[in-house]
């Protein structure tokens, strides 16, 4: 695992506070292999934590003061007391993820104490790999090292981090990103039931690399489009008298399709079929069947393109370039909220270089950029760094 964030965090801590830290924790980013826009429909997702992470080094204080140094933002320091109301800042935004978690822990009555901490990370920001969830979960994991936090398990930490993003930062995200970061298992994907919060590790075949291609297409429409699609999904569920589209089966949808607005029908069809694809993908991965996984990822991408309408031409082109190399030996699809962002692929190790070279040669973003390629492996979730 890359130890550069750890070294940067330690250096920032020494520079800011004049002594060495006594605690070190990390929390990874994540990529979603399949299961898009299903989380807020109480559905199923299949992400994995990745070996890009946020590291926090810290030392508890005897008083109620919190001082936070951000190594990736020129050592900027945010300082406040736990005895006063913890307020949201207009800037810098990174500080709000820390503040939001702190406030939630305090409001839960947990024995939060003063702390000096420094933060560094290598999760690419703005690429849809959950750098924000990684930060929030890492803060929660840090305080969970203290006495009195023994009952705060990984899923609990994920929910604290989600609430901080929802209620303090103002990002209305689901729970997939935080659960992935908190509960990751090395060399495994996680089949997450977003209703029950059950997490089932699924082994990733040893011959497969996880490749992520950042298209460098800015996801400018994603907030308004996300809200619109969420409303459309909720409208479809209400029409059928259901709590969420998780409870709708394809046969019922097909039989009563004429009752729905054609756009709402397509949105619902994506969610219903995507949940089924997650179930099938978990079985294919566990069996080491990359060919079947590739078929499911291809179908997922087509559904996002045609029924959910969240891809863009550059993303479709990028998927096609990777698919032309991988063929039936693996899979590739858009990942994330849509309208840009990243493409994820499961690629046999023998084809990694060819896939990277093909993208470098044949893809150029509308702004003239080349795609940035990350080769990852599924990583363990948030934890204490002992070395």
Span between the terminal Cα atoms of the chain, in Å:
12
Catalytic annotation on 63?
no
Distance, in Å, from the CA atom of 174 to the CA atom of 101, rounded to the nearest integer, reads 16
Q: Which residue, 89, 182, 173, is CA-closest to 135?
A: 182
Catalytic choice (42, 177, 261, 316): 177
Q: Contacts by 310-313 with C-beta closer than 8 Å and gap 24+?
A: 310/36, 310/37, 310/225, 310/229, 310/334, 310/337, 310/338, 310/339, 311/338, 311/339, 312/217, 312/339, 312/340
At residue 176's C-alpha, the angle toward residues 175 and 177, to 5°, is 100
Parallel, antiparallel, or unpaired: how do β-strands 188-193 and 115-121 relate? unpaired
Distance, in Å, from the CA atom of 236 to the CA atom of 251, rounded to the nearest integer, reads 15
- Whether 102 contacts 84, CB under 8 Å: no
Distance, in Å, from the CA atom of 135 to the CA atom of 13, rounded to the nearest integer, reads 17
List all residues 6 or more positions away from 253 whose beta carbon is below 8 Å from its beta carbon: 265, 268, 269, 272
H or E segment and range at residue 137: helix 131-143
Parallel, antiparallel, or unpaired: how do β-strands 199-203 and 331-335 relate? unpaired
**Is-cis flag, bond preceding 343, omega within 30?**
no
Phi, psi of 130 (to 5 degrees): 65, 45
Structural tokens at position 71: 């190594």
Separation of CA 80 from chain center: 29
Residue showing tokens 């045609």: 306
C-alpha dihedral, 36 to 37 to 43 to 47, nearest 10°: 40
Residue showing tokens 């709708």: 248
- Whether 322 contacts 346, CB under 8 Å: no
Distance, in Å, from the CA atom of 156 to the CA atom of 152, rounded to the nearest integer, reads 6
Residues carrying an active site annotation: 177
């Amino acid at each position: 695992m890359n130890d550069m964030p750890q070294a940067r965090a330690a250096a920032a801590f020494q520079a800011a506070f004049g002594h060495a830290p006594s605690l070190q924790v990390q929390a990874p980013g994540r990529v979603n292999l399949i299961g898009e826009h299903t989380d807020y429909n109480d559905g199923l997702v299949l992400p994995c934590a990745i070996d890009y992470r946020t590291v926090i080094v810290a030392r508890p204080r005897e008083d109620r003061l919190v001082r936070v140094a951000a190594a990736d933002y020129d050592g900027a320091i945010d300082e406040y007391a736990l005895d006063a109301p913890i307020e949201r800042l207009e800037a810098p935004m990174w500080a709000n993820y820390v503040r939001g978690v702190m406030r939630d822990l305090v409001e839960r009555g947990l024995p939060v104490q003063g702390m000096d901490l420094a933060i560094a990370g290598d999760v690419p920001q703005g690429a849809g790999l959950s750098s924000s969830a990684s930060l929030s979960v890492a803060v929660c994991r840090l305080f969970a090292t203290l006495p009195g936090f023994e009952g705060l398990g990984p899923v609990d930490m994920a929910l604290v981090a989600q609430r901080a993003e929802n209620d303090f930062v103002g990002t209305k995200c689901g729970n997939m990103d935080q659960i992935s970061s908190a509960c990751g298992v090395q060399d495994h994907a996680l089949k997450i039931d977003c209703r029950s919060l059950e997490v089932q590790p699924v082994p990733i075949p040893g011959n497969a690399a996880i490749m992520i291609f950042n298209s460098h297409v800015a996801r400018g429409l994603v907030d308004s489009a996300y809200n619109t699609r969420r409303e459309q999904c909720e409208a479809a569920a209400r029409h059928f008298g259901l709590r969420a589209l998780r409870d709708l089966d394809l046969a019922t949808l097909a039989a009563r399709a004429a009752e729905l607005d054609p756009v709402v029908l397509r949105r619902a069809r994506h969610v219903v079929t995507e949940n089924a694809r997650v179930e099938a993908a978990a079985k294919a991965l566990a069996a080491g069947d990359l060919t079947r996984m590739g078929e499911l990822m291809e179908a997922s991408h087509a559904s996002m393109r045609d029924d959910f309408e969240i891809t863009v031409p550059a993303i479709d082109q990028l998927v096609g370039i990777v698919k032309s190399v991988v063929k039936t030996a693996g899979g590739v699809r858009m990942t994330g909220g849509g309208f840009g962002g990243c493409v994820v692929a499961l690629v046999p190790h023998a084809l990694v270089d060819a896939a990277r070279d093909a993208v470098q040669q044949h893809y150029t973003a509308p702004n003239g950029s080349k795609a940035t390629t990350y080769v990852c492996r599924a990583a363990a979730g948030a934890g204490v760094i002992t070395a």
